[in-house]
Amino acid sequence: MPSLKGKNIIITGASGGIGAEIARLCAARGANLVLLARSIDKLEILKKELQSKYAINIHARQLDVSDPEAVKKVFFEVLSDIRYADILVNNAGFGIFDFAHEVKTEEIKSMFDVNVIGLIACTSMVLPGMKQRGSGHIINIASQAGKIATPKSSVYSATKHAVLGYTNSLRMEVADDHIFVTSVNPGPIATNFFTIADKQGTYVKSVKRFMLKPEYVAKQVVDRMMTKTREINLPRWMSAGSIFYTLFPRTFELFGKNFFNKK
């Protein structure tokens, strides 16, 4: 594993879940951090926790990535302070599970604004510096939902398909600039994500035994920082399912329908 000591790492959605766990692991390895999220109170608590343990520089800034002007302002200020970013982890995102005909227009817009447009906006702010320096790593937290579309997640799946499309194209664009681009495609993770996504709790009940621990996912991400890793797919059996889905979509949908309809 390449050393992260002294690296400048920006993490969106850092106030909880895998974002906060990634921050903890990076801090333990000596990286300097920029923590971004809508909840500044939670960020300040995390910042205080990490500064009490590690001699690193930490910036905590409030940011709603769905606001393009706020993204420009905050990133301009941050980059003025730290000069450059070695790694950007685009972790901010959310989902709402609903049938396609029931999902509200404002919810559709919000999911695309955060999951797709916000991710692209944040990436655009660090890319010029990375290209100039000939070094960097963009890590986009996508989802297995971007590979396997399921009932009641049509819009969420669409946003993650978009993230994968953007990530794959970007990887080829910046390869000659020695910038690594990685997509992280986890299955369900035991975080507060489902407080919003699965309001009735039916999906959580059906997949609880399969849920990944945020600490485990975070470690898989941090271990591959500054390496030429194309994708991180978790868990492995679900990754195998996405390959089967690509090869035999009708068969997969036929036999997987009952399981996926548990949402």
The gap from C-alpha 38 to its chain's centroid, in whole angstroms, comes to 15
Q: Report the alpha-carbon distance of residue 72 to residue 126 in Å, rounded.
A: 10
Q: Which residue has the tokens 């036999």?
A: 255
User: How far lies 221's CA from each of 23, 84, 172, 210, in Å?
Assistant: 11, 21, 21, 19
For the record, the structure tokens of 72 come out as 């420009």
The set of residues, in sequence order, having a beta carbon less than 8 Å from that of 23 and lying 6+ positions away, is 11, 14, 33, 35, 46, 50
Catalytic amino acids?
156
* Inter-residue contact 138 to 179 (CB < 8 Å): yes
